[in-house]
Chain A
Amino acid sequence: MKLLTRSEEFVLLAVWRLQQDAYTLNIRERISEITSVEWSLGSIFTPLERLTRRRLLTSILSGSTPERGGRKKRIYSLTPDGKKALIRIHRVEKAMWSGLTEILIRS
């Protein structure tokens, strides 16, 4: 299976963390906060769609609010495959970093 890209990874992590509140705007806000970079809406939509298609995410429709013009939110959640993919990328990253973290901090 293909490895996750960075943005996919970020989105998956944000969804996991946000739980019941994981919809597009919150995901974007969370990622922007942590990375200190303004992510556009489009840059969130694309990974969300791709992940949904790869069945790493599922979604349900939930309640609407007036500032959305009465439209429903789509709340995302991780599938077991999604969790596996995250664990896998984490393992890969750890392996890539192993032994290098100390050197990086020292220099």
Chain B
Amino acid sequence: MTQSVNTPPRFASKLLSWLLKDDWETPAGDFEEFYNQIVESEEGKIADRWYRRQVFLLLPERLFEKLLWSMIMFFSHLKVAIRTLRRHKWYAAINIGGLSVGLAACILIVLFVQDELSFDRFHTDSDRIVRILEARSTPDGGEQHFAYSFAPLGAVMKDELPGVEESVVGLTRWSIGRQTVQYEDNRFYESEYLYTDGAFFDIFDFDWLAGNPAEALNGPLRAVLTVTAAQKYFGELDPIGKSLNIERDGDFTVVGLIQDPPTNSHFDFSMILSLDTYRTNERLVARMTSWDSFGFLTYLRLAKNADLEAVSSGMRSILERNLNEDILRSRTPYLQRLADIHFESSHIDFDENRSQAQAATVYMFSAIALFILLIASINYTNMATARSLQRAKEVGLRKTVGAQRGQLVRQFLAESIVTTFSALIFALLLARMALPFFNQVVGKQLTFSLFANPWISVSLIGLLFLVGILSGSYPALLLSRFQPAIVLKGKTIQTSGANRLRQGLVVAQFTLSIGLIIASLVVADQLDYVQDKKLGFNEDQLVVVDINDGNARSNFVSMKNDLARHSSVQAVSVSSNVPGDWKNITQIDIASPDHHPDQVITSHFLGIDADFLTTFEILLLDGRNISDTSLTDSLAVLVNETVASRLEIEVGDRIRIPGPSLARRYRDQVFEPMVVGIVEDFHFKSLHEDLGPMVMGYHSNPVDLIDYFTIRLDGQNIETSLEHLTSVGQKYDPRHPFEYNFLDERIADFYRAETQLGHVFNLATILAVLIACLGLFGLTAFMTSQRTKEIGVRKVLGASVHSIIILLSKDILLLIIISFALAVPPSYLLMSKWLDGFAYRTPLDIGIFLITLGLAVLVGLVTVSYQTLRAATADPVDSLRYE
């Protein structure tokens, strides 16, 4: 035939093929041929219209039919799946158990990750809000970062830069210090306050329960409380209009009530006070407009579509115009997006609510969740294929009576989805139960409600199908491939390719598990190292008391004596800061005027008394201790080994501390004390950081005031000891609540993130290994059942039980060793990178790897022993009866 062939409209023809799928060939062909006839006799348009009409007319009936049948098949599949699960309770239990544990772990980790990623995102304009940070160069070439900067910068940027829509400054405890806040008899020591202006509420969104956000902070002495703070001070009373006394400024009127900032916010304030309070004081007003100022939080809201780069360069030109060269060189403000505050603030040295969170932790947790889920899914795959021999006949029969392959695939997928669904139900219960414990481990208050957030339900359904299809697709494809003629004759199916794949999956499971074992062992090892590391002082049984009162400060000698007047108190010392404490230790510049007058290094500084070394058990290497009674010793200092070696200082040399490092009153002087002793290096900072230079001066010195009492107890009767300390504290400072901390607990805080990681790793490892072992169990069942006849023949020919156990275990052993070889390089790299985050770290010991290998082999062999023993001791008569 020479005539040209016309094709009908594409979409309609596709639709037709689908509608007539079951027996589509002839009718669809008829339609197309008829279409061609119409095209020849008339215009193409009529033909197209006719074709579409035909398809449209067919649509409702065929759709109904399709739906009906798919429902029928769905319920049939469901019924078969449930029956199969019921009949093989043992397999079902292992499958559902493994999957539900994996899913529960996954749900919890997803909650955690979602919370972490949602930080500070709840404000309407969160993507346009930035804060100003400041980098300061230190004389020895380093840098310090602050969350604080110049007071006028934000306001000037708002005036001059079109990209900046709104700005607000704030003062926090970092600049002002802690204050006593009082309403009638309710008196607390507060640090979670923020002095700011009304624009704060324009930039950030909070839930207002009472008060007017636009006017609340206009004028001095006005306060907005969070619900928590209001309950703390006023109990059930209505806080609005009440007056709250704040130590420094007087009586504030409460004009607003807001909900607490959500836990996924970087704010931690409980009360917001009007910054106008300070604008009534001329000296403070001068400070707030000065380009010499420091210590102000600044938040900006950028205009829509504003370019952060353009705003940054605008900020630089403003600074260049307003600052003198010295300040310009040493202080460099820069911008940080609100969304980045949570994950990218760990480099900031001074930020009262600095976040230590790292995106890496979130990635790590997500990876762990994925690993566990993967291991659990592989489990299902292995178990299902292990069962395939038993299902072969069913498949053969179904095919014989006319089942098509697609239907069988759907049937087996339905089975895996039903299994996953049951597992999901258990997983939800498990997650619910484990949530309080999990919250404790990760230090969050996560809540879990299926219906509060529609995304949770949607993602759970997504998870259900993902896991169901992921784990069920391979067995479905494998099982549906069986040839009925072969399986119904009872022949063994040769599936060497499938066998290899299954072994590959087991290797994958064990690689992940072994990797997790290594990781958790390394983390545990490092935490042990950190806890056991000699810090250079003894941190146990030390109680630290914060001095908040001038009276206690000036009478510190008699207060010390009173504190020591208890049998359990072994030593008492005062100091300006405490080594190992959570607060920032003062830093100064020092030089050696005699040896290297031009080499300036940055050192930490502690003001101490004569009892300091004995209380902390710090070793004096050379020279003598400072004496409290000798007046000349106000010009004496102790230095640590690092200072001595870096500046080549010996006992008797002087060091020079320049004016800017001294307290405000002494700025125009230079302090040149004499080194009377050299102490052994001790870790006054976390082991993440290098041990730096340290200078320790007299208790009354021009750098820093004494601020802490440290008491060494004998640890016999802590409660009475603390009662004694409290009564002495109240005697000297009745105005402030008595506060104490155990130093070792504060030091443990340094490693909270690592401890948390360690807990999660341990849990994840246990779960992963458990689930992987279930999978191994399934695989062994499969392998031994396949080799039943081989084993029978071997036994008939005289093989011993012993040799058969070895034969069967050999394979598993090989798999584990391959997994180990695969797991070691990546985990070695990752964990040594993790350890590099510590300045002081345990070596990555080969012992850990050996222990892991031993553990994996042991666990693997124990898991397979049940199946191998059963196979090896089976009577060959049973397996060879039908030959």
Contacts and interface: CB of A to CB of B under 8 A. Distances in A.
Does A pair with B? yes
Contacts of A71: 25-26, 28-29, 32
B584 interface: no
B122 to A, nearest CB: 57
A83 interface: no
A69 B54 contact: no
Contacts of B25: 61, 71-72
A42 interface: yes
B701 interface: no
Interface string A19-61: 0000111001000000000000110010000000000000001
B1 A65 contact: yes
A67 B36 contact: yes
Contacts of B31: 41
A72 B28 CA distance: 9
B26 A73 contact: yes
Contacts of A61: 25-26
B7 interface: yes
Contact of A42 (B7, B33, B37, B57): B57
A66 B26 CA distance: 13
A67 B30 CA distance: 9
Going nearest first, the 10 A-B pairs with the smallest beta carbon separation are: A71-B29, A68-B29, A74-B26, A67-B36, A24-B30, A69-B32, A68-B33, A66-B5, A71-B25, A67-B33
A7 interface: no
A85 B563 CA distance: 119
A64 interface: yes
Interface residues of B, number: 20
B29 A72 contact: yes
Given A42-B54, A65-B33, 5 more contacts: A24-B30, A41-B30, A69-B13, A69-B28, A72-B25
Contacts of A67: 1, 3, 5-6, 32-33, 36
B75 interface: no
Contacts of A73: 26, 29-30
B27 interface: yes
B437 interface: no
Contacts of A68: 29-30, 32-33
Interface string B229-253: 0000000000000000000000000
A69 B30 CA distance: 9
Nearest to B40: A67
B34 interface: yes
Interface of B: 1, 3, 5-7, 13, 25-34, 36-37, 54, 57
A74 B20 CA distance: 15
Contacts of B1: 65-67
Contact of B26 (A24, A28, A65): A24
Contacts of B27: 24, 45
A55 to B, nearest CB: 17
Interface residues of A, number: 18
Contact of A72 (B26, B34, B36): B26
A69 B26 contact: no
A82 B25 CA distance: 25
A60 B106 CA distance: 56
A69 B14 CA distance: 12
A43 to B, nearest CB: 12
A28 B31 CA distance: 12
6 contacts: A25-B30, A42-B54, A69-B28, A71-B28, A71-B29, A74-B26
Most chain B CB inside 10 Å of its own CB: which residue of A42, A66, A72: A66
A42 B57 CA distance: 10
A107 to B, nearest CB: 39
Contacts of A24: 26-27, 30
A106 B325 CA distance: 127
A87 to B, nearest CB: 28
B57 A25 contact: no
Contacts of B32: 67-69, 71
A24 B54 CA distance: 15
A71 B34 CA distance: 13
A44 B31 CA distance: 12
B516 to A, nearest CB: 56
Contact of B34 (A41, A64, A66, A74): A41
A41 B30 CA distance: 8
B570 to A, nearest CB: 98
B557 to A, nearest CB: 105
A68 B25 CA distance: 10
B29 A64 contact: yes
Nearest to B39: A67
A37 B37 CA distance: 17
Contacts of A25: 30, 33-34, 37
Contacts of B30: 23-25, 41, 68, 73
Contacts of B29: 64, 68-69, 71-73
